Amino acid sequence: MAKKKVSKRWMQDHVNDPYVKLAQQHGYRARAAYKLLELLDAEALPLAGSVVVDLGAAPGSWSQVVRHRLLDAGGVLNGQIIALDRLPMDPIPDVTFIQGDFRDDDVLSQLEEQLGGDRVDLVISDMAPNLTGIKVADVAAMSHLHDLVLEFARNHLKPDGVLITKAFQGGGFTQVLEQFRQHFRRVVVRKPKASRDRSTETFLIARQWKDD
């Protein structure tokens, strides 16, 4: 019964959610688009000419946002977008999609081929593990995911590049924040208005990878 009540409440919130309605009006695949829009604006990140990698991209709303920001006045993409996900994703114009786990060698080889030797200006990740509700297990899963994202940034991000990734307030967050500060010269924590109030979701915006 409790699960049914939660599902009903979630559906009511979803139907009445202004960001869901905005996403439908503006053609974004998910309300999450407005989280990235807020983060980019808050940090005043210039994207023109950037090489951007979207980790865990499906269904594609973050790639859509980046594409819109990279279009010049003539509607031509000024930059490059590569999206990766283990799940399938419907095509987005100007976005190169690679399906697979970004830890796998064959996926990384495809990525390297697309990059053509270039490094990345911006890595974005809205990924989260499948949470169990068991605190110790969830903290460990999120910590592992952050390790993977940081390793990806180490291998692909430009020295002055930017990483935007999801995190969760609560157990283990202080350690995650410290971990990012060990690797980046500037780390900002932001919770966009588009994140639901009762969610512990937040985002880390990290700039300028430190020399190891």
Question: Exactly one of 4, 21, 166, 191 is catalytic; which is it?
Answer: 166
Residue 136 confidence (pLDDT): 83
Residue 141 confidence (pLDDT): 86
127: in domain: yes
Residue 18 confidence (pLDDT): 87
23: in domain: no
Name the phi and psi angles at 82, rounded to 5: -125, 125
Alpha-carbon Rg of the chain, whole angstroms?
17
Residue 131 confidence (pLDDT): 74
2: in domain: no
Name the phi and psi angles at 211, rounded to 5: -65, 135
208: pLDDT confidence band, cut at 50, 70 and 90?
A: very high
Q: Which of 21-30, 53-62, 111-120, 128-137 has the lowest mean pLDDT?
A: 128-137
Range(s) of the domain holding residue 201: 31-209
Can 166 be counted among the known catalytic residues?
Answer: yes
Q: For residue 194, what are the contacts with CB-CB under 8 A and spacing of at least 6?
A: 19, 31, 32, 34, 35, 37, 38
24: in domain: no
Q: Render pLDDT for 162-195 as a digit per residue (tens, 0 to 9).
A: 999 999 988 889 999 999 999 999 999 999 999 8
pLDDT > 70 fraction of the chain, expressed in percent and rounded: 92
Q: Decide if pLDDT at 3 tops 70.
A: no
- How many domains does the structure of the chain reveal? 1
Residue 10 confidence (pLDDT): 41
